[in-house]
């Protein structure tokens, strides 16, 4: 047990200067601006021919100091910050923040809000995996998949636009529910998406899944064992590709995920092909969950879209103009003068990359005392040098894109 | 395995050295003396009934009012088999913020501790490569400490009065 | 004396050629990069403006599209990429973060790339819609079409670069 726990790559990075006589490797600087690194992070590689001997990653090129900013913002103003963490699936971050604060304060949301949130989160997960898998295709040379599949992402954007007005970084939902009910047009667009997308995704899968060139390229590239993955605190599709079926939606359900039946796709070797297939499987499971949620929502009262919490949820405009308490609540919420109960909470949701955790300490004021984001991308990127050591340079590139490095979540 | 059982196992092994047991929102929290953080985590890792073999997160908090104990390093551990979480807190003084590193036990602690060092200046004794990770290398202060402002103090293009801070209001 | 008849129509001809064949260098750092990917896709299609080939090397590109937040750690890299580009070169700052720091008024974010390099067009938005990015590219096309051939050697331009510390 313990002999595997010493971080093997630490201190093993070859750091010889170019005039040293013992140096047998070439130093190659990959990044921070590079077409294949989808995001800004740098790797200094020591390569021997085509084989990567060691790597030293440098991150922080997009460090925006979220945690410091969050100490100065009222709780509802932190939601747009959470958008910008994993910006490919920003809705999951938003709803994760809302559920954290609701748990801290003790707000119970109605079932319909939970099911609508599940629909939004699973759409975000589909969007994130679509980007990741098509980019793995691009890095192996299959550019067609990317151009075709991005059209489906446009359909998802249209659904978000109908509900909250924005496409990518949506700031969707408020504490207690949604800012407006889903309109007829939104349901029409959602139904159309659910009809069209399976056919389109099946086309993409037929292009790559059992394609001999793709398989030979990706099988065995960048593997990681389950023990090393757990020791590195991996979560999400990267951990599931290594064989461990840990999913926060099942382990600690939030937003009524316990009412849904879905499978967790799991791989065996944790290589690029397994990660690709796990994400494909998760897209089909997400569509399954969305269908179940749409059926469940049909049975509930269609006018319910938020909880009755006047201290956190903006009252209706007609009440603000006529009633005194509504005016006061409106003022307090907009100016951020609502005091949150003191307390300490750690709440995690299953983001596109794994367990996205919010560690929130409130001291009873209008802003958090400390807010720490447990960012899955940051935590699993430290395993990257160990994963690519000994492999080819081109395998290092596709390993990087298959691990779905989102720079916003990496640096935060 | 309930939190009650977990608390009993910890007190029977470590006695009075662990304190501050609280259960907030379903998670047990315990305050551990800084010198014993590795012993407690190793016990939680090795014990066949407790099996806390997954490190979820390491963070730190700055309490400028607690003299002698200003920085608090917080470890979140998770037992994946029985699905139980635990939070360990270790308080250290700000003039000598030393605490043992967890990298020997969890490889994932490497960058988590570098981030905590970068933000707060916590010195993890025994860390293989303790240097800044997110901020620029030349930065000479630890920005997340409470005495430092959020904004860059040398910027000239923004009028602080308009942002509701400083100015003459 | 003015530029003369042949010189002005040559300007227009060269401008027409240049503006319809811009090769952009997408310097995508964060969320605006994803909206740029949507702009490149089939729905909004940047390629019909002549930007079919996205060059990732500064030596071959005309337009530096900075999309996303630039942190102070990244600033020297942006400046280096700008210096490696050959004249004539244009810069478009896409997104609120590249224009002025955006919502991140913190110690680690550069409050707008115009602190380090001269910018021609600013596209606000967080992230800007693909139509807005296309509008920004069209403004650049207008600028390119009307630019005089002697601009890059003029004293005004040299003074502009001097003010940024670029020789």
ipTM over 0.90: yes
Residues of C in Cβ contact (< 8 Å) with A65: 104, 106-109
The H-or-E segment that residue C6 falls in is: helix C5-19
| Residue B93: other Cβ atoms inside 10 A | 14
Contact C69 A64 (CB under 8 A): yes
Tokens linked to A141: 């040379």
Rg of chain B over Cα atoms, rounded to whole angstroms, equals 19
Look at residue B169 and tell me whether its pLDDT is greater than 60.
Answer: no
Residue B165 has pLDDT above 70, yes or no: no
A69: nearest CB among C27, C106, C129:
C106
Q: What is the mean pLDDT of residues A59-68?
A: 91
Instruction: Give the start-to-end residue ranges of the domains of chain A.
Output: 66-411
Lowest mean pLDDT among A233-242, A342-351, B156-165: B156-165
What whole-number distance in Å separates Cα of residue B111 and Cα of residue B131? 10
- Chain A contact present for B24, CB below 8 A: yes
> What is the DSSP pairing of strand B27-31 with strand B19-24?
antiparallel
Cα-based distances in Å from C82 to A61, C27, C79, C89: 17, 11, 5, 9
| Residue numbers of B between 127 and 156 with CB closer than 8 Å to C | 134-136, 143, 148-153, 155
Chains touching C by CB (3 or more pairs below 8 Å): A, B
Q: What is the pLDDT of residue A4?
A: 35
Q: Where exactly are the structural domains of chain B?
A: 3-144
* Neighbour count for residue A376 (Cβ, 10 Å): 29
Q: Do C106 and A33 touch (CB under 8 A)?
A: no
pLDDT tens digits, A227-263:
999 999 999 999 999 999 999 999 999 999 999 999 9
Nearest CA to A405 among A19, A31, A6? A31
pLDDT tens-digit profile of A112-147? 999 999 999 999 999 999 999 999 999 888 888 888
β-bridge pairing A343-350 and A51-58: unpaired
What confidence tens digit (pLDDT) does each residue in A385-397 have?
999 988 999 999 9
Contact of B107 with chain A, judged by CB distance below 8 Å, is answered with yes
pLDDT band at C2; cut points 50, 70, 90: low
Backbone angles phi, psi at A326, to 5 degrees: -65, -40
Window from A20-24, B97-101, C100-104 with minimum mean pLDDT: A20-24
The answer to whether residue B46 scores a pLDDT higher than 50 is: yes
Closest C-alpha to A61, from C163, C86, C27: C27
**Structural domain that includes position C76:** 5-163
pLDDT at A365: 87
Mean pLDDT, all residues of chain A = 89
Q: At what angle do helices C31-40 and A143-164 cross, to 10 degrees?
A: 110
Over range A158-166, report the average pLDDT.
91
CATH number at residue C61: 3.40.50.12280
N-to-C CA span, chain C: 30
* Mean pLDDT of the region C129-143: 93
Does pLDDT of C91 surpass 90?
Answer: yes
Interface test with C, best of B152, B156, B157 (most C CBs within 10 A): B152
Give the model's pLDDT for residue A37: 63
- The pLDDT score that the predictor gives to residue A116 is 94
* Count of structural domains within chain C: 1
pLDDT bin (cut points 50, 70, 90) of residue B59 is very high
Site from C70, C75, C107, C109 to mutate, B interface, most B CB atoms within 10 angstroms: C107
User: Which strands make up the sheet holding C24-28, listed edge to edge?
Assistant: C24-28, C63-67, C90-94, C121-123
Sign of CA dihedral A306, A310, A312, A315: positive
Joined tokens for residue B32: 């551990």
Q: Do C74 and A68 touch (CB under 8 A)?
A: no
- Give the sheet arrangement for strand A370-374, strand by strand: A343-350, A355-362, A370-374
- Size of the B and C interface in Cβ pairs below 8 Å: 28
- Interface touch A154/C38, C-beta < 8 Å: yes
A370-374 and A355-362 beta bridge pairing: antiparallel
Q: Which fold has domain B3-144?
A: Beta Polymerase; domain 2 (3.30.460)
**Nearest residue to B6 (alpha-carbon basis) of B35, B38, B49:** B49
Q: Give the mean model confidence (pLDDT) for residues A62-74.
A: 91
> What are the tens digits of pLDDT across the range B122-142?
999 999 989 899 998 888 899
CB-based contacts of A11, cutoff 8 Å, min separation 6:
B128, B129
Residue B49 has a pLDDT of 87
Per-residue confidence band for C119, with pLDDT thresholds at 50, 70 and 90: very high
**Of the candidates A82, A99, A101, which has an alpha carbon nearest to the alpha carbon of residue A257?**
A99
In this predicted structure, the answer to whether residue A96 has a pLDDT above a threshold of 80 is yes
Contacts of A274 (CB under 8 A, 6+ apart): A241, A242, A267, A268
CATH architecture of A66-411: Orthogonal Bundle (1.10)
Helix or strand run (H / E) with residue A29: strand A26-30
Q: Closest to C31 (Cβ–Cβ): which among A35, A84, A150? A: A84
- For the beta carbon of residue A45, count every other beta carbon within 10 angstroms: 24
Residue of C nearest to B139 (CA): C108
Which chains lie within 8 Å of chain A at 3 or more CB pairs, if any? B, C
B15 vs A260 pLDDT, higher one: A260
- Give the single-character DSSP code of A350: E
| Inter-chain residue contact A232 with B61, CB threshold 8 Å | no
How many angstroms separate the CA of residue A334 from the nearest CA in chain C?
17
């Amino acid at each position: 047990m313990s002999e595997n726990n010493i971080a093997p790559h630490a201190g093993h990075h070859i750091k010889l200067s170019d005039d040293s006589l013992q140096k047998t490797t070439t130093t190659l600087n990959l990044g921070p601006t590079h077409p294949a690194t989808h995001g800004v992070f740098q790797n200094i590689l020591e390569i021997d021919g085509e084989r990567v001997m060691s790597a030293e990653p440098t991150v922080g090129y997009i460090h925006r100091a979220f945690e410091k900013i969050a100490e100065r913002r009222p709780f509802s103003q932190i939601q747009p910050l959470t958008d910008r963490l994993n910006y490919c699936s920003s809705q999951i971050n938003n709803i994760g923040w809302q559920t954290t604060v609701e748990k801290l304060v003790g707000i119970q949301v109605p079932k319909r809000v939970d099911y609508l949130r599940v629909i939004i989160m699973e759409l975000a997960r589909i969007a994130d995996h679509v980007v990741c898998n098509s980019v793995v295709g691009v890095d192996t040379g299959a550019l067609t998949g990317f151009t075709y599949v991005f059209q489906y992402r446009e359909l998802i954007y249209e659904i978000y636009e109908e509900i909250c007005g924005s496409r990518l970084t949506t700031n969707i939902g408020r504490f207690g529910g949604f800012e407006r009910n889903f309109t007829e047009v939104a349901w029409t667009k959602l139904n159309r998406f659910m009809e069209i997308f399976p056919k389109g995704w099946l086309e993409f899968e037929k292009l790559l899944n059992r394609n001999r060139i793709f398989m030979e390229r990706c099988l065995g590239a960048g593997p990681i064992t389950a023990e090393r993955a757990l020791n590195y605190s991996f979560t999400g599709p990267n951990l599931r590709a290594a064989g461990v079926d840990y999913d926060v939606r099942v382990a600690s359900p939030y937003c009524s995920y316990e009412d849904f039946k879905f499978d967790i796709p799991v791989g065996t070797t944790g290589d690029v092909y397994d990660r690709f297939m796990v994400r494909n499987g998760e897209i089909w499971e997400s569509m399954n969950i969305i269908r179940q949620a749409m059926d469940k929502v049909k049975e509930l009262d269609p006018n319910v879209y938020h909880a009755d919490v006047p201290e956190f949820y903006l009252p209706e405009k007609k009440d603000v103009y006529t009633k005194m308490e509504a005016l006061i609540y409106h003022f307090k919420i907009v100016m951020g003068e609502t005091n949150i109960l003191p307390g300490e909470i750690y709440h995690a949701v299953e983001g596109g990359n794994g367990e996205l955790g919010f560690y929130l300490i409130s001291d009873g004021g209008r802003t958090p005392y400390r807010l720490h984001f447990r960012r899955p991308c940051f935590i699993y990127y430290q395993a990257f040098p160990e994963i690519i050591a000994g492999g080819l340079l081109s395998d290092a590139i596709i390993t990087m894109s298959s691990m779905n490095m989102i720079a916003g979540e990496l640096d935060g | 395995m309930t939190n009650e059982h977990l608390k009993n196992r910890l007190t029977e092994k470590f006695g009075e050295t662990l304190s501050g047991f609280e259960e907030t929102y379903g998670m047990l929290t315990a305050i551990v003396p800084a010198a014993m953080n590795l012993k407690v985590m190793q016990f939680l890792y090795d014990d066949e009934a407790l099996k806390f073999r997954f490190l979820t997160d390491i963070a730190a908090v700055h309490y400028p009012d607690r003299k002698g104990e200003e920085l608090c390093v917080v470890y979140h551990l998770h037992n994946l088999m029985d699905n139980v979480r635990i939070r360990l807190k270790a308080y250290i003084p700000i003039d000598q913020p030393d605490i043992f590193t967890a990298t020997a036990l969890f490889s994932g602690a490497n960058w988590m501790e570098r981030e905590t060092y970068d933000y707060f200046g916590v010195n993890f004794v025994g860390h293989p490569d303790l240097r800044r990770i997110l901020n620029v290398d030349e930065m000479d202060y630890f920005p997340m400490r409470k005495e430092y402002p959020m904004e860059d103090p040398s910027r000239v293009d923004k009028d602080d009065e308009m942002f509701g801070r400083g100015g003459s209001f | 004396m003015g530029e003369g008849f042949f010189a002005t129509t040559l300007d227009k001809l060269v401008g027409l050629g240049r503006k319809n064949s811009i090769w952009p260098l997408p310097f995508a750092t964060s969320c605006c990069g994803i909206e740029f990917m949507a702009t490149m896709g089939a729905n909004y299609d940047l390629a019909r403006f002549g930007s079919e080939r996205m060059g990732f090397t500064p030596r071959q590109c005309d337009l530096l599209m900075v999309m996303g937040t630039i942190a102070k750690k990244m600033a020297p890299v942006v400046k280096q990429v700008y210096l490696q580009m050959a004249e004539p070169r244009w810069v478009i700052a896409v997104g609120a973060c590249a224009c002025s720091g955006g919502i991140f008024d913190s110690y680690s974010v550069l409050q707008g790339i115009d602190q380090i390099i001269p910018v021609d067009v600013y596209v606000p938005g967080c992230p800007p819609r693909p139509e807005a990015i296309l509008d920004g590219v069209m403004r650049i096309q207008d600028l390119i079409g009307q630019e005089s051939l002697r601009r890059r050697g003029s004293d005004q331009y040299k003074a502009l670069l001097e003010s940024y510390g670029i020789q």
